[in-house]
Structure 1
Amino acid sequence: MTDEEAAPAGVVHNAFALVRVLSRAQRPVGVTELASVVGLPKTTAHRLLEQMAREGIVTRRDHQWALAPGFGDLARTAHRPSPLALVARPRLHALSQATGATLLLHRESGDALETLWCAFGPHFRRVMPPAEQRRAAVHPASAIWLALASGQMAAEYQEVHPGCNCIAAPVSLPSGGTGVVTLVRPDNLEVESLKRPLERVASRILSDIRRFAD
């Protein structure tokens, strides 16, 4: 494995390259073919696929790989991640790693929500698979919609799923519209103490996107 592949940016680039190939494929694809198309060593491609499988991004069956159900929305953005997703993902990933929670980023799009980024926490994956987490996030009773309606931090406790609690902080975007940063934890792990950290992350993402726009 080269130094470039070992760098975080290289890992993200290679992972998205694999997702792009799988999103265009009409059938499951073997790791040898994926590695050849993307231009990676087979061992590197296999390691990345295994990591993405643990995150619920891809699935494997009979030594063939495919995108996991429910991942199509993110796959469509894999070609050109939005500036908001690009600046937000390091902060979301850091908070997810620090708390074990799932962190999500959505943007309001008319009457719907556009999923921009997900960082699935190890604690929460044991309660709800990643694909189900994505679906639950946009449920009408989710904290995301509550935050959008109120314009401030919102919380929901086991309303969408009996095994989890959720808090969400809205972000008014410089380009117009609203983004929402969401944190989800199993119901045996409280979220109240994470409201301030989540608000700080939302504020820093807003500062980052403003600098990006400049």
Structure 2
Amino acid sequence: MSESTAAPAVRRDPPPSMVERMTLILDAFTGRSVRLTLEDVARHTGLPRSTAHRILDQLVRQRWLEHNSYGYALGPRALSLGGRDGGHGKIREAAAPLLHELQITTGLVAHLAVLDGAHVFYLDKVGGRFASSVPSRVGGRAPAHSTALGKAMLAWLEPEQVDARLGGALNRLTNRTIGELATLHQELHRIRRRRGLAFERGETFPGIACVAAAIRGPEGPVAGISLVGDIRTPLENVAPLVAAAAREASQTLFPSTAPARRPRARRAEFAPPAEDSWSPETLNRLLAMDGRGEWM
């Protein structure tokens, strides 16, 4: 972590107040790309390791910081100060043409969202005649555990991160909503086995169905793309298109981690690259891994 070496020198007498200690910790993060471990924070601030850990946990819970296997980084609340949007503008820019193409190709409503604590936060919505029937809006939120968008992103977090975001109780919005963490973890495991495809039918709103896939970076999910229709929509038919759009957005946002890209096909041939394309037989096998029809 080359950026961490530029942090302030160790203080011999840590400030006494909680506000000062929190400020000292936040000041150690000198840029949005800085990643620090607990040991880094303790060394740079001069705080005892146990004290630093306790305050870091509080800052993560309040979304000032984020924590994953790479360490701690500035969270959405810190990045939103001063008009910064936490990178949402770049995500919207990368996903916008893909959302429009999905909507035109399928006639369904396309969504783009990010995780915001225990919820998904909608960055974009592109829809046709069905759009007014879908009770979502740009700038709105929905529980992550009941939406395909949320589950698609949660599936690529570590289990303890999922637990920390959602807490112990999961609210049931309908009789189809997952209400226990253990059941949710089983569903997230199935999503990973389906190569990231998440489905939901009537879990958030009766009569609404959705398929989603996460836009992933080198450190985990950064957003999700979904298609939404009514409960009778054959989502299995459009699932490969959602997966391809999420993959293309990932490659656009993180080109250094993407494999060599082939020329993009015309809209009429919108499909994953040949090596990643899914035959009907492959898709059926992936979907059959659930062994349970109620989440599909």
TM-score category by the smaller chain?
Answer: 0.5 to 0.7
Q: Distance in 2 between matches of 1:88 and 1:212?
A: 18
Which deviations, in whole Å up to 9, do the C-alpha atoms of 1:89-148 show, x marking residues without a partner?
0111111122111111112244343322221x224225335549955x546411122222
For these two proteins, the number of residue pairs brought into alignment is 137
Contact 2:125 2:137 in 1 (8 A): no
The amino acid that maps onto 1:116 is L
Report the aligned-residue RMSD: 3.2
**3-state SS of 1:105 partner:** strand
Superposition deviation, residue 200 in structure 1: 0.5
Structure number with larger C-alpha Rg: 2
Structure 1 gaps of 5+ residues are 1-75
**3-state SS of 2:247 partner:** helix
The amino acid that maps onto 1:205 is A
Which structure shows the bigger proportion of residues in strand conformation?
1
Superposition deviation, residue 177 in structure 1: 4.3
State the identity as a percent: 24
**3-state SS of 2:130 partner:** helix
Residue matched to 1:55: none
Which deviations, in whole Å up to 9, do the C-alpha atoms of 1:121-179 show, x marking residues without a partner?
224225335549955x5464111222223252110112222222111111222465431
Superposition deviation, residue 199 in structure 1: 0.3
Q: Distance in 1 between matches of 2:139 and 2:117?
A: 22
Is 1:189 aligned with 2:233?
A: yes
Residue matched to 1:145: 150
TM-score between both structures, scaled by the size of structure 2: 0.40
Which deviations, in whole Å up to 9, do the C-alpha atoms of 1:55-87 show, x marking residues without a partner?
xxxxxxxxxxxxxxxxxxxxx889x85211111
Residue matched to 2:134: 128
Change (3 A) 1:115 1:130: closer
Residue matched to 1:83: 90
Which structure shows the bigger proportion of residues in helix conformation?
1
Write the mapping of 1:62-141 to structure 2, written as runs, cut at 5 A: 82-119=89-126, 121-131=127-137, 134-135=140-141, 137-138=142-143, 140-141=145-146
> Which of 174, 178, 184 is the matching residue for 2:222?
178
Q: Distance in 2 between matches of 1:112 and 1:126?
A: 22
